[in-house]
Structure 1
Amino acid sequence: MNLVHLLGLGAFALGLDAYVTAGLLPVIADDFDSSVSATGQMVTAFTLAYAIASPIFATFLSASRVRAGLLGSLAVFALANAGSALSDSLPVLLVTRAFAGVGAGLYLALAAAAAASLVDKERRGRALAVIMGGMSSGTVIGVPAGVFIAEHTGWRSTLWLVTVLGFISFAGLALRLPALPATHSFSLRERAQVVTDPRVASIVGVSFLAAVASLGLYTYIAPVMATDAMGEVESITPYLWAWGIGGVIGSVLIGTLVDRVRRPYFLVVGALVLLVAALLAFRVTASIHPLIALLPIAIWGAVGWALQVPQQNDLLEARGEKGGPVAVALNESALYLGSAVGSGLGGLAFSLGRSGSVLPLWAAGAALLGLILQVTAVRTSSARRARPAPADTLTGGTD
């Protein structure tokens, strides 16, 4: 296994850890004698820490200490998952999930930079694909497998699996990863300058609302499908597979479309339309028969994963060579913040006694708001911008 694949193994563990908890909510809630809404906040803790704390830590991390940051973040991630597996109360679980989110967010950002620096420029795209492929396969393969393990040996076994994978990747990188070249660090002030760009702010806003809808609902897919109105599904594994496989197909196909279509703006509009339709169809079809819902769930996963490719492309065009990566990083933070807000709102709905069957409708509403923002603010800001921002818009550093 080469170094890039060791980095990908760590990303696989991250992908598994970030999404498997959605399928474990009911069992964890029963174990702690807690409500689903309260237990669901472990997802909020993870995603909120990922969205807010990780970019701050990445900002203050010295650009010359990428290797140390990479190993340190992976160690924090693995130890936090061990703490989650050993937790004896919900508050302890929430704290350890937050630490896991910080480690995961910092690791993924540094792993992408490390993978790009370990190969020739001609192979850089494939190296980055290994990292993102690790994340997506961690969801598609790891999540159903993790839920299956949890169903037979308990939810703690799944978190121990994540811990072991994290430590294997850590040990391999600690032994074989060389010192990495320094990269440019962006200050918090520079990040603020990027987000004040109306075009960036509107694009990131669309990503945030899409994440509230897609990732927020995914957090509660198990209790949603367990309701009377959605068919009282006991085994959630086939539905997780449908969502994950749809996500892989969507993320693979969208790249070719982005390269061929001159204005990815319309791809985002189409994806949001499909997301709204899929979420509404999910609610309707599950009420008829749960198995029919597999199709809209797959479409939901496909467009949810695919949406971010044209979004990132648009951000890179908007800010140029230097500002683009910062804008993309802010977009990633918006995704996890949206996931945290979505899971928080879902937990609030359960705590207020609402049926889980209303959550797909609420999610469709959030996606609709994203669509409205796309066809108003994003379109307006794009029309006003005759050309991309100059590469030297940001000051204070070089690549």
Structure 2
Amino acid sequence: MFNLLLLSGAMFALGLDAYVLAGLLPDIATYFSVSKGEAAQVVTAFTLCYAIAAPALATALAGQSVRRILALAMALFVIGNLLSIVADSFALLVVSRCIAGAGAGTFAPVAASLAGSLVPKERKGRALGMILGGMGTGTVIGVPLGIQIAQTFGWQSTLLLVALIGLVAVIGVLTKLPTIEVATPPSLRSRLQMLTHPRIAAVVSVTLFTATASLGLYTFMAPMLTDLGLGNDPSAYLWVWGLGGVAAAFSVGHVIDRTGRPGMVLLTLLSIMSLALLSLPLTASVPMAVSFLPFLLWGAMGWSSLAPQQHVLLELQPEHGSVAVALNSSANYLGSAIGAMLGGLLLDHELLMPSLLPWAAAVSAIVAVGLQVIVMLTRLNTPRAPEKQTPDKQS
């Protein structure tokens, strides 16, 4: 149990670091005298390296013990956050976020694999839930707490907290984790090769557009709320977003199991998320309690969208499920990076006000809905039926 708590605590730090910067962008922009659009690129750097650099790093570490991989990955994560604290230029901050993202992206899949190996088979689901719960708690509780710390002591203090938790995790991994062999995370090359399968490519494309809409917009939560007239402290709305996400992420599996139709479940989730995003700019004039609703739905639908995708991918590629799921994870973080980058460009070139970014995100979400409809109508989300062998005619 201690080892699971250790890994869960490390995932808490990862969840906090991945999502707290959305609430710190105004402070970072002021500190480095850059626009909010430029400041958003620190999120792009983290998520892009999480999606791309981490698989390459996992390949480089192949053959190392799990304990060493986890320790090196978390040490890289800590170094990246420490560099972020002392960065005296915006360029160095971006580089430091790349380092932290690569470390986080390497640690997370190995930690999940190890968690399943630390317990008996009948408790594997609970172990994985504990690991995911650590990251979810980092978002729901850690992010609002981190923002409050930043408002009192400065944004660097929040990243110092992240680094300290990560340092404790490094020490725990080196001194407490048993020596257990688990599969090395799939390399970037193996993930890209999976895209040659039209069915896999179609499903993953839906994930990409979904993440561009949901996680991309999340990056601009603080300036969006300010422009909507909902206050300068995004903590409450970030908390509602994360709470909806964690609750839905843990419950969507039951819905999939009961309906047996993950494709339809995903289509429903994406449709509701699109409506929630479209309604966000209309929340400024309603009571606060009502204004929370689209944020709750947005978080819930966005977070829970990964589960039905993973379900479909495991059915499409039962023999290479880990590679397919890893590809989907990379697409999720790549979509986040693309959304942050595009949102920053729209703001920097004054093509949209921050309050109208939800409508831009809704366009990406609606594209995801359309792609999902195509996937379902063409049955690209179902395994190809084996071809029947025609018996040879006898002469």
TM-score by length of 1: 0.93
Judging changes above 3 Å, is the alpha-carbon distance between structure 1 residues 48 and 269 closer, same or farther for their aligned structure 2 residues?
Answer: same
Q: Can you list the C-alpha shifts for 1:187-211, whole angstroms capped at 9, x where unaligned? A: 5554344221111111111011000
Judging changes above 3 Å, is the alpha-carbon distance between structure 1 residues 187 and 221 closer, same or farther for their aligned structure 2 residues?
Answer: closer
Give the residue type in structure 2 aligned to 1:204.
V
Judging changes above 3 Å, is the alpha-carbon distance between structure 1 residues 73 and 348 closer, same or farther for their aligned structure 2 residues?
Answer: same
Q: Can you list the C-alpha shifts for 1:59-118, whole angstroms capped at 9, x where unaligned? A: 332245222111100000011111111112211110000000000000001101111121
Give the residue type in structure 2 aligned to 1:170.
V
Judging changes above 3 Å, is the alpha-carbon distance between structure 1 residues 63 and 186 closer, same or farther for their aligned structure 2 residues?
Answer: farther
Match of 2:284, SS state, is helix
2-structure distance, mates of 1:260, 1:232: 39
Aligned position for 2:332: 335
Q: Can you list the C-alpha shifts for 1:222-259, whole angstroms capped at 9, x where unaligned? A: 001111xx115211111111101111111122011011
Judging changes above 3 Å, is the alpha-carbon distance between structure 1 residues 30 and 310 closer, same or farther for their aligned structure 2 residues?
Answer: same
2-structure distance, mates of 1:326, 1:339: 20
Aligned position for 1:252: 250
Could you tell me how far 1:295 is from its partner in structure 2? 0.6
Aligned position for 2:375: 377
1-structure distance, mates of 2:25, 2:53: 24
Are the equivalent residues in 1 in contact too, given 2:199–2:381 (CA < 8 A)? no
Aligned position for 2:271: 273
Aligned position for 2:293: 295
Match of 1:286, SS state, is coil
Aligned position for 1:113: 113
Aligned position for 2:127: 127
Q: After the TM superposition, which residues 352-367 of structure 1 pair with which residues of structure 2 at under 5 Å, given as runs?
A: 352-353=349-350, 354-367=352-365
Aligned position for 2:393: none
Are the equivalent residues in 2 in contact too, given 1:202–1:378 (CA < 8 A)? no
Judging changes above 3 Å, is the alpha-carbon distance between structure 1 residues 4 and 387 closer, same or farther for their aligned structure 2 residues?
Answer: farther
Match of 2:129, SS state, is helix
Deviates more, 1:286-295 or 1:371-380: 286-295
2-structure distance, mates of 1:306, 1:200: 19
2-structure distance, mates of 1:334, 1:245: 23
Are the equivalent residues in 1 in contact too, given 2:15–2:137 (CA < 8 A)? yes
Match of 1:210, SS state, is helix
Are the equivalent residues in 2 in contact too, given 1:212–1:340 (CA < 8 A)? yes
Are the equivalent residues in 1 in contact too, given 2:40–2:341 (CA < 8 A)? yes
Q: After the TM superposition, which residues 1-399 of structure 1 pair with which residues of structure 2 at under 5 Å, given as runs?
A: 2-183=2-183, 186=186, 190-227=190-227, 230-288=228-286, 291-320=289-318, 322-353=319-350, 354-382=352-380, 385-387=383-385
Give the residue type in structure 2 aligned to 1:276.
S
Could you tell me how far 1:378 is from its partner in structure 2? 4.7
TM-score by length of 2: 0.94
Judging changes above 3 Å, is the alpha-carbon distance between structure 1 residues 360 and 113 closer, same or farther for their aligned structure 2 residues?
Answer: same
Could you tell me how far 1:149 is from its partner in structure 2? 0.7
After TM superposition, where is structure 1 displaced by more than 6 Å over at least 4 residues in a row?
none
Could you tell me how far 1:183 is from its partner in structure 2? 2.4
1-structure distance, mates of 2:210, 2:124: 29
Judging changes above 3 Å, is the alpha-carbon distance between structure 1 residues 22 and 185 closer, same or farther for their aligned structure 2 residues?
Answer: closer
Give the residue type in structure 2 aligned to 1:343.
A
Give the residue type in structure 2 aligned to 1:4.
L
For this pair of structures, how many residues does the alignment match?
Answer: 386
Give the residue type in structure 1 aligned to 2:339.
G
Deviates more, 1:117-126 or 1:89-98: 117-126
1-structure distance, mates of 2:182, 2:109: 14
Judging changes above 3 Å, is the alpha-carbon distance between structure 1 residues 287 and 202 closer, same or farther for their aligned structure 2 residues?
Answer: farther
2-structure distance, mates of 1:269, 1:211: 15
Could you tell me how far 1:290 is from its partner in structure 2? 5.4
Deviates more, 1:96-105 or 1:247-256: 247-256
Give the residue type in structure 1 aligned to 2:327.
L
Are the equivalent residues in 1 in contact too, given 2:191–2:326 (CA < 8 A)? no
Are the equivalent residues in 1 in contact too, given 2:245–2:299 (CA < 8 A)? yes
Output the aligned Cα RMSD: 1.8
Could you tell me how far 1:24 is from its partner in structure 2? 0.3
Aligned position for 1:397: none
Are the equivalent residues in 2 in contact too, given 1:258–1:264 (CA < 8 A)? yes
Deviates more, 1:33-42 or 1:231-240: 231-240
Give the residue type in structure 2 aligned to 1:332.
S
